[in-house]
A = this chain, B = another copy of it.
Amino acid sequence: MQADKPLHKLRTIDREIQLLTHTATLLQWDQETGMPPKAIMERSEQIALIEGLVHDRMTAPEVGDMLREAGFSSSGGIQIDGDDDKQIDRGFLRAFGRVYERAVKTPRRLVTEMARTVSQAQAAWVEARKRDDFSHFEPHLTRIIALVSEKAEAIGYPEQPYDALLDEFEPGMLTSQVKPVFETLRLQLTKLVEKIVSLQTADDAFRYRTYPEELQKQFSLRVLREMGYDFERGRLDESAHPFTTSLGRDDIRVTTHYQEEDLLSALFSTIHEGGHALYEMGIDPKYHDSSLGEGTSLGVHESQSRTWENLIGRHPRFWRYYFPILKKEYFPDQLTDVDELSFIRGINKVEPSLIRIYADEVTYSLHIILRFELELALISGDLQVGDLPGVWNEMMQKLLKCTPPTNAKGVLQDVHWSMGAIGYFPTYALGNLYGAQFLNTMRTQMPDMDDRLARGELGAIREWQHEHIHRHGSLFTAPELCRRITGEELKPDHFITYLEEKFRVLYDV
């Protein structure tokens, strides 16, 4: 009984923090989707102000006192494994306490300075990419690297500064755990890419015909709806870089980016973001307005988005259902000479290429490994921002055997660094691994998954994800969730096996 009162007060504070955070998120969403260009200077001040207020709420002295009164000492010590009736309270204490621990160590000045810097850096990145001019973005990125390095030192880390950054997106994961996993991935994927490229007979020329934006939009909306995305609780907009964002417990929006000369980029972006959104939309309402009311880690989040984009969205049976619809109802002229098998092979073409978000699912993780290594070098000081374009291009040649013709198609392609998100990229590759490991379990529990896909029944998949992943929000950590679902720790084997099996069937690789 005694510990209940501080817990209740903490929940009230947490609720206010959620409201403020969602407000800051609207300021950012609007900046990305429709804000008039000259509004950027004040917008960055608005965001800095709200994020400063969040920091103030979070780090008020009484919050520390209440946490202690509620029995919290360190988020590291709390395990949620049983299903007893106190687990939600313990989960809340752990999740809230974890954010508190990071926040109290971060000076307020750094929080508002970072918010202001990234808001302006994002606008500069958009402009730099448009003009293919890295120098327009360089000073912003230099400032961001300095700020996140300062943040890492302020927060502290078990082994190296990058740990503190990675921990924001993938709680508890260490750089030294990621490294060997990525090393295995690099070796296995490089081998697999070579093998597939030498044997495949895919021709994806059809995807680069002209596909009017309006029709792409209608088809994307249809698939999003059939995945189970709730348009009463969200909407689809356009932005330079597709994203998903929560502006409220019942306001989870996705964006995409149409290209008339590419049938698939907007569609797969929409499916990807839809996967993120299903996670957030599926969280049990009892966690709403609290720190438990969001996805547990970005790795698990990416497992959901990348499962929908690739494991489902590029599955031959998915297109057994959707290809006739796409061809007949949307693009009969453009697809007149394309049959189902060539379509499926085409959308699964493996080819080392320049742009991460358009990469096939085999080469994709190599793009991540490149970014991970560059981030490590930037944070350790081994690499200067000014040298980044050159080193990027060298590594692209090494890992993916191609060199970007422009910085817009190279180092400037991603929004993340302009958002101050250093330590974020690894979670995409971890998401591939979580996704394949979860799918492996789902398949044993749902042996008729392929048949359902062929009938366009996406509901059963969403429900399985909802039952095992979505509804829990952040109650379980990523490793706890992985053990609960699959009975194992995370490992790269399932992903590699999945890829080998898929391309064996597609091409007799």
- Chain A residues with CB under 8 Å of chain B are 16, 19-20, 22-23, 26-27, 30, 34-39, 41-43, 45-46, 49-50, 53, 230-235, 237, 247-251, 253, 289
Contacts and interface: CB of A to CB of B under 8 A. Distances in A.
Given A19-B45, A251-B43, A38 B233 contact: yes
A16 B112 CA distance: 13
Question: Which 5 pairs between the two chains have the least Cβ-Cβ distance?
Answer: A39-B251, A42-B248, A38-B250, A38-B232, A39-B250
B41 A19 contact: no
Contacts of A20: 49
A26 B36 contact: no
Contact of A30 (B26, B50, B250): B26
Contacts of A39: 233, 247-248, 250-251
A473 B300 CA distance: 51
Given A19-B42, A19-B45, 7 more contacts: A19-B49, A20-B49, A36-B253, A39-B248, A41-B250, A43-B248, A43-B251
Contacts of A36: 231-235, 250-251, 253
A289 B45 CA distance: 11
Nearest to A289: B42
Contacts of A26: 26-27, 30, 46
- With a 10 A CB-CB cut-off, give which of A22, A34, A248 has the most chain B CB atoms: A248
Given A36-B251, A38-B250, A231-B36, A46 B30 contact: no
Nearest to A251: B39
A375 to B, nearest CB: 32
Nearest to A49: B19
A84 B50 CA distance: 38
B23 A46 contact: yes
- A20, A23, A231, A232: residue with the most chain B Cβ atoms closer than 10 Å: A23
A249 B248 CA distance: 26
Contacts of A30: 26, 30, 247
Q: How many copies does the complex hold?
A: 2
A250 B22 contact: no
Nearest to A34: B235
A39 B246 CA distance: 11
Contacts of A16: 49
A294 to B, nearest CB: 14
A325 B264 CA distance: 41
A18 to B, nearest CB: 9
A245 to B, nearest CB: 13
A42 B231 CA distance: 16
A250 to B, nearest CB: 4
A356 B222 CA distance: 40
A42 B250 contact: yes
Contacts of A45: 19
Contacts of A43: 248, 251
A237 B35 CA distance: 12
Contacts of A232: 36-38
A386 B396 CA distance: 71
A156 to B, nearest CB: 32
Contacts of A34: 235, 237
Contacts of A46: 19, 22-23, 26, 248
Contacts of A237: 34
A97 to B, nearest CB: 23
A81 to B, nearest CB: 32
Question: Which of A16, A26, A231 lies at the interface centre, i.e. has the most chain B CB atoms within 10 A of its CB?
Answer: A26
Contacts of A35: 251
A27 B231 CA distance: 19
8 contacts: A16-B49, A23-B23, A23-B49, A23-B50, A26-B30, A36-B235, A39-B251, A42-B250
Contacts of A49: 16, 19-20, 23
A120 to B, nearest CB: 14
A23 B27 contact: yes
A43 B231 CA distance: 16
Contacts of A253: 36
A473 to B, nearest CB: 16
A155 to B, nearest CB: 27
Contacts of A289: 42
Nearest to A37: B232
A115 to B, nearest CB: 12
Contacts of A41: 250
Contacts of A27: 23, 26
Contacts of A234: 36
A481 B241 CA distance: 48
Nearest to A29: B30
Contacts of A53: 53
A265 B251 CA distance: 32
Contacts of A37: 232
